[in-house]
């Protein structure tokens, strides 16, 4: 784990966000989860639900996304997922289509080369990618 709560708060301060209780609890929850979470899921988390409103979490997540501190992901659900961006660490995910479990993949991401190729061939800028594997986990099989 190359990031802790204090460092995250500093990055937030650097982006002009204020040091509020809600922000701290939200970042702590995302950090502990170590995988993407939906707004609804975050809201149900013990600490967050007692500390702040759904709209607050929603707006914080979007501010954090603008600041480049969290990333918004699709992941095939109706609800949007959000995950912390850890500097110099790219994450892909393995998702069970049965129970919905989401696990980060340990293996190094194999598409950086293709990303470079696309950048030069198409002229797209600020490229990034999202890679997810879907399947049935052993428990659900």
Q: Which residues bind a second copy (CB under 8 A)?
A: 72-78, 80, 94, 96-97, 105, 107, 110-111, 113-115, 117-119, 122-138, 141
Angle of helix 5-14 relative to helix 21-33, nearest 10 degrees, comes to 130
Contact 48, 57 (CB under 8 A): yes
How far apart are alpha carbons 138 and 57 in whole angstroms? 34
Mask of contacts with DNA, 57-96, x by CB under 7 A? -xxx-xx--------------xxx----------------
Do 129 and 115 contact (CB within 8 A), yes or no?
yes
CB atoms inside a 10 Å sphere around CB 79: 11
Is 23 an interacting residue with respect to DNA (CB under 7 A)? Answer: yes
Let me know if 48 is exposed, middle or buried by CB neighbors in 10 A (0-12, 13-18, 19+): buried
* Residue of the chain from 28, 33, 35, 39 that contacts DNA (CB under 7 A): 39
Instruction: Identify the H or E element spanning 114.
Output: helix 112-122
Nearer to DNA, 33 or 80 (CB): 80
Please identify, using beta-carbon distances, which residue of 7 and 134 lies nearer to a second copy: 134
Q: Which is nearer to DNA, 13 or 90 (CB)?
A: 13
Would you tell me how many other CB atoms lie within 10 Å of the CB of residue 112? 11
* Partner whose binding site includes residue 5, from DNA, a second copy, none (CB under 5 to 8 Å by kind): none
The CB-of-123 to a second copy minimum distance in angstroms stands at 4
Give the one entry of a second copy, DNA, none that residue 51 binds, where binding means its C-beta sits below a cut-off of 5 to 8 angstroms depending on kind. Answer: DNA
Q: Does 47 bind DNA (CB under 7 A)?
A: no
């Amino acid at each position: 784990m190359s990031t802790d709560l204090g460092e995250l708060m500093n990055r937030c301060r650097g982006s002009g966000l204020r040091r509020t209780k809600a922000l701290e609890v939200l970042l702590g929850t995302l950090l502990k989860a170590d995988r993407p979470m939906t707004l609804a899921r975050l809201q149900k988390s013990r600490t967050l639900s007692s500390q702040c409103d759904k709209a607050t979490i929603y707006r914080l997540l979007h501010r954090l996304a603008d600041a480049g501190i969290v990333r918004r992901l699709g992941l095939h659900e109706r609800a949007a997922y959000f995950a912390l961006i850890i500097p110099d660490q790219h994450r892909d995910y393995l998702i069970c289509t049965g129970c919905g479990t989401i696990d980060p993949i340990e293996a190094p991401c194999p598409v950086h080369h293709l990303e470079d190729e696309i950048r030069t061939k198409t002229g797209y800028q600020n490229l990034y990618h999202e890679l997810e594997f879907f399947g049935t986990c052993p428990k659900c099989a």
